[in-house]
Amino acid sequence: MRRLLAALCLTLVVPAAAIADPSTSPGYTAKDQAQFAKLALTAGTWTCKDTPAGKKPDVITGKQSGNWFVWTETSDTPNTTYVRWDHTNQWYVQSEIDDAGGSMVATTKSLDPFNATWKVMYPARGPTSYPFKSSFADGVLTWTGTYPDPQTRKLETFTAVCSKS
């Protein structure tokens, strides 16, 4: 009976530990772990409605991979974004690499990465160098920002409204 109870307890504890898989970054404090854990919100598959609308569906899959959360996006511009809490700078950082070879690095000092303004650090100038915002409410993650229209060169607004699929 004891073995049965021990086995039952083990089967309940192991999945809970896997869900709360902490970052193993050197020097991480309990606060750092709590900040990193907030990124778990994006685990799973998200379907986004974009404005302006793209030709291909915008689906984002999020998962933890070691000390990073990785967001893989299928859309007109497929990309992979690596996101984490930076212990040294005390901010969130995301690094996006698109399938065409472009990249972007953005940071936020907000303690809530999904209700924040993100500042683009790289590239310092160009179509992806404008700040953007994230907000999360009622299970919906929304990203908004601006970009220069390639034809008119006027600043246009984009919005991505994402819900878990």
Q: What are phi and psi of 22, to 5 degrees?
A: -75, 160
Q: Is residue 92 one of the residues assigned to a domain? A: yes
Q: Tell whether 51 is covered by a domain.
A: yes
Is 14 contained in some domain? no
> Does some domain include residue 148?
yes
Block residue for tokens 């698109």 = 98
User: Which residues does 91 contact at the CB level (< 8 Å), separation at least 6?
Assistant: 85, 107, 108, 109
Q: Which DSSP string corresponds to 37-56?
A: HGGGGG-EEEEEEEES--SS
Residue 153 domain-assigned?
A: yes
Instruction: Indicate which CATH number applies to the domain containing 82.
Output: 2.40.128.20
Residue 22: predicted pLDDT: 77
| Range(s) of the domain holding residue 102 | 28-164
In a domain, 67, yes or no: yes
pTM above 0.85, yes or no: no
Number of domains, the chain: 1
Quote the pLDDT of residue 113.
98
pLDDT of residue 150: 82
Residue 1 has a pLDDT of 34
2 part of a folded domain: no
The per-residue b/e assignment along 16-30, b for 16 or more CB within 10 angstroms, e otherwise, is: eeeeeeebebeebee
Tell me which residues of the chain have a pLDDT lower than 70.
1-20
17 lies in some domain: no
Q: What is the pLDDT of residue 3?
A: 39
